Amino acid sequence: MAIRKLSPETVVQMLKDNGILKVKLFDADQNTMTALAGSGIEVMVAIPNDQLAVMIITYVAVGNEPFLTSYNGSFLNTTFPALRNIQNALNDAGVGDSIKATVPLNADVYSSPTDQAYPSSGRFRSDINDLMTQIVQFLSQNKAPFTVNIYPFLSLYGNDDFPFDYAFFDGAPQPVVDKGTGIQYTNVFDANFDALVSALKAAGYGDLPIIVGEVGWPTDGDRNANTGYAIRFYNGLLPRLVGNRGTHSTSAWLH
């Protein structure tokens, strides 16, 4: 207890000055976590007692979209070690069977080559292929899912030539035909998801469970970001989730 609270930065420095390298926190206050980041101090984060009854933790997200090309490789050397450490800690604590660590990744970690631009030719990005293979191997060994964020809106946002209706679920006038399988795709979400399935198969882990961590449509900030288009998008997405409908490459329910 203290009458005047010290700043998190001051406390962290005091801990280091006194050789204290492990701390227990009663919550995950952002300022405190920021001060501890990079300090070399091990942290135990508690769930408050009044939240225990309603807390059902099944996954621990390690970072968020760490391999975005805009990061210029800043997190290439730290993401997999963090994933491994967290899952191993869960395993050592005896909860690894029910709580899995996973890395939410952006859909730009995989793509199809320009001369074979269809889902069945999906592969992990060449600059991170070896790293992605290590990650999916570790996820598979621990029966953890691959987590991906898919935003069809971004296909429109980044490409003026992108077929507008293909971003929605109610059917593009001209389906895109996968020349490798003959499958016709009427929306980019299915095509994107199946490109990931192909990339996982190419890496030898085609049966790895997939979770869609983020999907949605914005309502402001761009000419295609408005309430009408968002309603159209969700009117197509939600019935699929309720109906447990998968994509062409998987009949499994989309999580």
Q: Which residues are catalytic?
A: 65, 214
Q: How far apart are CA 106 and CA 101, in angstroms?
A: 17
Determine contact, residues 195/111, Cβ cutoff 8 Å. yes
* 89-92 long-range Cβ contacts below 8 angstroms, 24+ apart: 90/60, 91/142
- Distance between CA atoms of 51 and 161, rounded to whole angstroms? 49
Distant-in-sequence, close-in-space partners of 192: CB < 8 Å, separation ≥ 6: 107, 119, 150, 152
Q: Please, where are the H alpha helices in the chain?
A: 8-17, 30-36, 79-92, 129-141, 152-157, 188-202, 227-242
> Which H/E stretch holds residue 212?
strand 210-214
Query: By the 8 A CB rule, do 229 and 217 touch?
Result: yes
